[in-house]
Amino acid sequence: MQVTPYNAAWPGKFAEQRDQLETILQPWLYGPVEHVGSTAVPGLAAKPIIDIAAPIRSLAQARHAIPVLGRAGWLNWPSDPNSTWRLWFLRPQPENRTHHLYLIQHDDPHLRELTTFRDRLRQDALARDSYAELKQQLAQQYRTDREGYTKAKSRFVAELLKQSGIEMRPRLEAAGKGGPIEVLAAPSDITDDAAVRGLLALATGGGQSRVDEAVRQYRDDSSARLLIATWAGETVGLAGYRVIGGTTVVLLHVATAPHARRKGVGSRLLAEVRRVAPPELPVVAETDRDAIRFDRATGFTVASLGEKYPGVERYRVELDGVARTDGRDRI
């Protein structure tokens, strides 16, 4: 972990990318692109990486910018644990990155945190010096642990924000550390949410057309129901289902965010499906090899359907109507 003295060239390195980004992101941009993070504070030692925040109108719509930014040399981090409130990019390569970019909806409180913390350090020399000293200490302690370094700074950041009248919102690392998992019936417009679309991409195997088809299913088909699982206000899982002919509950989509797996999210979703759908009906689904371990652990019987596509084996899973899940199984 490298923390270097302030470099007067950093504002220029930001400006170079700002001008390009304001052109590239014009269809989605809400306001000016901002220089945030320690390199935005004159006189402050920092990791020599320029942090950039772009306030956008809609996080869901801004997902269309991912391939556009990719062509401009920005690499997206699709498994970012905080993808419910930002889209995260770097350039040019992970091992020698020079810039980070965050696309954040303009009214999201996380954006205000970034700009408020930056402004406080610019104005408060004592806070700036204390932060610089802390960063140097942590850089020695977490020489090769970028995530550990960032987490260790969070108490200082939270305290400074609190002094400015802002309660720092939690950054999601793993479900289960910030309170109980809650499962809710999704409102009709939830499919516009970036986190839900990301989970639908996991459930459908990715691809914009598949996600759009799933979104239309929940918007246009009144028999298709969607449940979402949240932790600390963040959407970390979903389950969609339909009751067919009053005889069968068909699971349409099930997904858990990668960083929240093995925390009971899937079991909580399945238990809620059993609670709100007629409990006497069997639950069935078609799935792939990656999911059958969880299906067996939660009481499903599994039968191979053979290779539905060349080299791709599919499975039918079924949970009897009398079966119940108790929430102890974990994915």
Residue-wise DSSP of 201-238: HHHHTS-HHHHHHHHHHHHH-TTEEEEEEEETTEEEEE
- pLDDT score, position 179: 55
Joined together, the tokens standing for residue 262 give 């093995």
pLDDT of 191 over the 90 cut: no
- pLDDT score, position 233: 65
pLDDT of 31 over the 50 cut: yes
CA–CA distance, 278 with 250 (Å, rounded to integer): 12
Q: Are 66 and 78 contacting, i.e. CB atoms less than 8 angstroms apart?
A: no
- pLDDT score, position 324: 39
Instruction: Tally the C-alpha atoms within 13 A of residue 21's C-alpha that lie toward its C-beta.
Output: 30
pLDDT of 323 over the 50 cut: no
More confident residue, 233 or 61: 61
Joined together, the tokens standing for residue 152 give 């260790």
- Where b means 16+ CB within 10 Å and e means fewer, 272-291 reads bbbeebeeebbbbbebeeeb
- What are the φ/ψ torsions at residue 106 (nearest 5 degrees)? -60, -30
**Angle, alpha carbons 194-105-187 (nearest 5°):** 45
**Burial (0-12, 13-18, 19+ Cβ within 10 Å), 156:** middle
pLDDT of 329 over the 70 cut: no
- Residues 6 or more apart whose Cβ sits within 8 Å of residue 210: 200, 201, 204
Cα–chain-centroid distance for residue 51?
A: 19
More confident residue, 182 or 236: 236
- pLDDT score, position 145: 66
What does the pLDDT average to over 66-88? 85
Strands 248-256 and 283-287: parallel
- pLDDT score, position 311: 77
pLDDT of 232 over the 70 cut: no
Q: Are 69 and 88 contacting, i.e. CB atoms less than 8 angstroms apart?
A: no
pLDDT of 325 over the 80 cut: no
Sheet arrangement for strand 75-76: 34-36, 50-56, 99-105, 86-91, 75-76
Average pLDDT along the chain: 85
Alpha helices for 46-104 (secondary structure H): 59-62, 65-71
- pLDDT score, position 12: 97
Most confident of the following: 95-109, 131-145, 184-198: 95-109
What does the pLDDT average to over 70-83? 81
More confident residue, 291 or 149: 291
- pLDDT score, position 263: 78
What does the pLDDT average to over 41-48? 94
Q: Are 273 and 266 contacting, i.e. CB atoms less than 8 angstroms apart?
A: no
DSSP state of 329: -
Residue-wise pLDDT tens digits, 261-315 = 877 888 888 888 888 888 889 999 998 887 888 888 778 899 999 887 777 788 8
CA–CA distance, 15 with 203 (Å, rounded to integer): 39
Instruction: Tally the C-alpha atoms within 13 A of residue 211's C-alpha that lie toward its C-beta.
Output: 20
More confident residue, 309 or 140: 140
